[in-house]
């Protein structure tokens, strides 16, 4: 027995019923393709996370923190480690949402506090329903609160960094946890300081009082825009970050890659920076098409595109993606 396999089996014994073996990760991502995790834990409480941290102590087992999987591509062979997800359905400590006036802020200031497993569209819609404005952009981001912080998700003229006040975190690879603010997050374009084994428990966002009708109109406009300009189906949104001064989609289109197909994956004809996977398709096909597109753009424009998608389990992968 290999050392890695032995460590996984020992970890499974320590975690007991908290862990499951061979859970398919593909269905937990928006690509809907990819293989299983050797071990999988769905944490419903902070106590569950502490149990995971204790069980991992002294091991070299790789850890993957999974949110909504909207920026994740798992290889067909799967992930030979422990995948951890905050439970996205009740009962779960990580789905709370409170929307209150900010007594320390100026008139009309509000605070939206959301659990790390809550979906951003839910946060956006429920905030508007409560008369809190400023987070409407989040309705178009299919990730979780935790995943959004890790990649400084954004769209429609705003991002996490524009409104984040503070957040709670817990590290799975060391005995560390606490609260952070925007300075600790150190946000950049589709990137932050949150590490691969750090779990975001909750986040607080600044908002302002506004008209519910106006907020709902803004939500509807964003949703309609995305339907007009972005494809549906199985994808992870934008595959590559936009290089300075241009868009990845324009470069891909100019390179002649729009509509390009490789096996069960194809470059969207609606938006060239989206790669779609066929139902029952292959994650390895998606990855191979990403590399084909990157090569074509580099040959055409002299620009090497950087991936927004986090790649997991691929033998030749390099560290890419934010969440």
Q: Which residues are catalytic?
A: 190, 238, 308
Q: Which two tokens stand for residue 52?
A: 């995971």
Is the CA virtual torsion 230, 231, 234, 235 positive or negative? negative
3-state class (DSSP) for residue 39: strand
* DSSP-H helix ranges across 16-102: 46-56
Interatomic CA distance for residues 90 and 88, integer angstroms? 7
Report the half-sphere exposure of 226 (CA within 13 A, side-chain side). 18
**Contact in structure between 258 and 270 (CB atoms under 8 Å):** no
Please name every residue paired with 113 in a beta bridge, in sequence order, or none if there are none: 98, 204
Cα of 194 vs its chain's centroid, Å: 12
Closest-CA residue to 139 (of 221, 230, 32): 221
């Amino acid at each position: 027995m290999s050392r890695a396999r032995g460590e996984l089996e020992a970890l499974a014994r320590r975690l007991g019923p908290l862990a499951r073996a061979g859970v398919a990760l593909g269905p937990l991502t928006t690509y809907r393709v990819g293989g299983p995790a050797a071990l999988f834990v769905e944490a419903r409480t902070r106590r569950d996370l502490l149990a995971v941290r204790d069980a991992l102590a002294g091991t070299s087992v790789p850890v993957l923190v999974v949110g909504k999987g909207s920026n994740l591509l798992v290889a067909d062979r799967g992930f030979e480690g422990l995948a951890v997800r905050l439970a996205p359905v009740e009962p779960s400590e990580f789905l709370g949402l409170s929307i209150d006036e900010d007594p320390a802020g100026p008139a009309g200031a509000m605070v939206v506090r959301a659990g790390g497993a809550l979906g951003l569209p839910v946060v956006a819609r429920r905030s508007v329903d409560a008369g809190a404005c400023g987070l409407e952009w989040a309705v178009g981001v299919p990730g979780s609160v935790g995943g959004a912080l890790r990649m400084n998700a954004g769209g429609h003229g705003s991002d996490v960094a524009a409104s984040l006040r503070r957040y709670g975190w817990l590290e799975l690879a060391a005995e560390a946890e606490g609260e952070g603010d925007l300075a600790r997050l150190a946000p950049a374009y589709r990137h932050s300081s949150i590490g691969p084994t750090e779990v975001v428990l909750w986040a607080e966002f600044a908002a302002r009082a506004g008209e519910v009708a106006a907020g709902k109109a803004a939500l509807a406009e964003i949703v309609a825009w995305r339907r007009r300009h972005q494809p549906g189906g199985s994808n992870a949104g934008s595959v590559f970050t936009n290089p300075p001064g241009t868009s990845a989609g324009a470069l891909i289109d100019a390179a002649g890659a729009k509509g390009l197909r490789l096996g069960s994956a194809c470059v969207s004809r609606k938006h060239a920076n989206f790669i779609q996977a066929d139902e029952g398709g292959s994650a390895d096909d998606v990855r191979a098409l990403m590399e084909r597109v990157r090569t074509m753009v580099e040959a055409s424009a002299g620009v090497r595109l950087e991936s927004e998608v986090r790649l997991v389990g691929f033998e030749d992968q390099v560290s890419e993606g934010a969440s």
